[in-house]
Chain A
Amino acid sequence: MLIQENLTLQEKLRILSDAAKYDAACTSSGVDRRGQSGMTGNSSACGLCHSFAADGRCISLLKILMTNECVFDCKYCLNRASNDVVRAAFSPEEICTLTMEFYRRNYIEGLFLSSGVMKSPNHTMEQMYQALWKLRREYRFAGYIHVKAIPGADPRLIEAVGMLTDRMSVNLELPTGDGLRSLAPHKTRKTILTPMRQIQNGIRQDREIPLLQEHTAGFLEEGKARASVTGAGIQKAAGEQQDELLSWKKENAQPLWSQRKPAARMHVSEIGRRFVPAGQSTQMIIGATPENDYQVLSVAEALYHRYELKRVFYSAYIPINEDPLLPALPGGPPLLREHRLYQADWLLRYYGFQASELLDESRPNFNVLLDPKCDWALRHMEQFPVEINRAPYELLVRVPGIGVRSAGRIVQARRSARLEFADLKKIGVVLKRAVYFITCSGKMEYSGKLTEDTITSCLTWGDRKANWEISHQDSFRQLSLFDDFHMNVPPSMEDRFSVVTGQM
């Protein structure tokens, strides 16, 4: 494979950002770090999105590949070895100046560095390490960095890179091991889950033993020392069976929100001494392989519980390559399915839901018309209506139209006085959805039938008039002279003549 040498920076950026655009994760959250004189940059826990591209996705980080040269041949990927595309590579110097100059102009929140596999995973990871080291040490960059770990790279390299970044991610690529075998022949579940486990152990260890000693050795050496400690977990992960994620069953696991750690607060001087402070994430492609939504969501849940991930990203499969193993998608990429999975993902992480509550074997896919929370509520009408002034927080967040923020505000506000429907609206509750499921001081605003079918039709038809007509079929309506009384005047003699002669 030939890398084009004489490309301008502009052409390289075009090629290498175009190649990176299918990666979903572009967040800059999870670490809180103040700036310092002599350094450039800070990081806020909530993350900032600096722009929104024409597809509506946020641009938070400078999302580029180090190189789009790749020895792997994953069927779905633009940069697979068998594709004939122009190959380019950034030098570490170029990555640093681009990041710094974009950052100064407030275009970006930091760098998202991924790469095709150049020569070998280790070689690629080393190149990435060099670029990051330069950026952190020579350019004194204290902004956000997110790096992809290359599957199959040496644990010591992952350790060393993890010291310089805020977030790291290993792409799960496809929800099941079978899918991976057929579409990504060079990757295995083992090479993906092993670094994931290693990063998890590293983060844990980092949290438990903060900054033991003053480090004088280079970071690579330091990485080696730590890697031998975290290595214990790796053997275990490697020994586990193929579909550990899909077959994972929860035994008295705590809801995810109770396990969440607050965003890491760190000092600038701790860069290089804290391992992946903003946690790790992953992403999987939806719609390239025949898994159903229930399987995908169960895998995500297992990842959250077993690997303590911060986020799982879902990326609707976009057909780029033609291959008999890939599905043809005449209706375009499965964007609605992706949207529903994200909605369910938030329900898992912040609303105390479990995958098995939202879906099950008999209904393995999400409702096209209703969001997962409405769908769940309609199937559990026995739990509703909920009294706003008394219900516990855990139940409030399960009501459609009430989010984490508005539930928090309700709990705060009802301490001093009773809440009415008008107050709820101002607090931020979406009454359009919530009104079917709540009472305020025992009163309900919706007066129709409380059955699954009626409410479903009310929720899915946005228009009020249409709703009214559906819930009041065969009741009162405006009479029409012509339809209801068949009042037609019979044609006269002149009318018949005019039909024949054509003179009106």
Chain B
Amino acid sequence: MTSLAITVVGHDRPGIIAQAAEVLSQCGMNLEDSSMTLLRGHFAMTLICAGEADTDQIEAALQALVDDSLDVTVREVPEEPDLPPLGSTYLVTVHGADRLGIVARLASVIAQAGGNITDLTTRLSGTLYVLLAEVDLPRSANVAALQARLAEVSAELGVDTSMRLIENDEL
């Protein structure tokens, strides 16, 4: 069994997902986790698939997709343990005037506190910059200190940042 990480990035048009998924299915590769979206109008797909085909076979099969406007990468990845993290999850929300370094500085603050960003989306709309990040914090983390440091750095960047605990409603 081989696990492959595949990215497809480029000019958006109808049918990219259908075509890529069909190629993988024909090659016996099971599409496992994937994320597909438009980033500033560009189509962007990242996925992990598993099966018996190897990198060269899949690269060759996906050539049907590749053109001047669409790029495909394929590489083998090791199996990763898919274990739930222990700790608490927070949603960090940032918005403000766009400037260089917002993600770099805030992500650095989170990393220094031992936080692991498990999902992150940013959007630039005119001059408004919006960042949403889900952050897992270990039990040993000092949440109050992280909040204070985020507030401090956000003030320097001129952006508003909030951080709230995400709770599950178990039903």
Question: Do A and B belong to a common assembly?
Answer: no
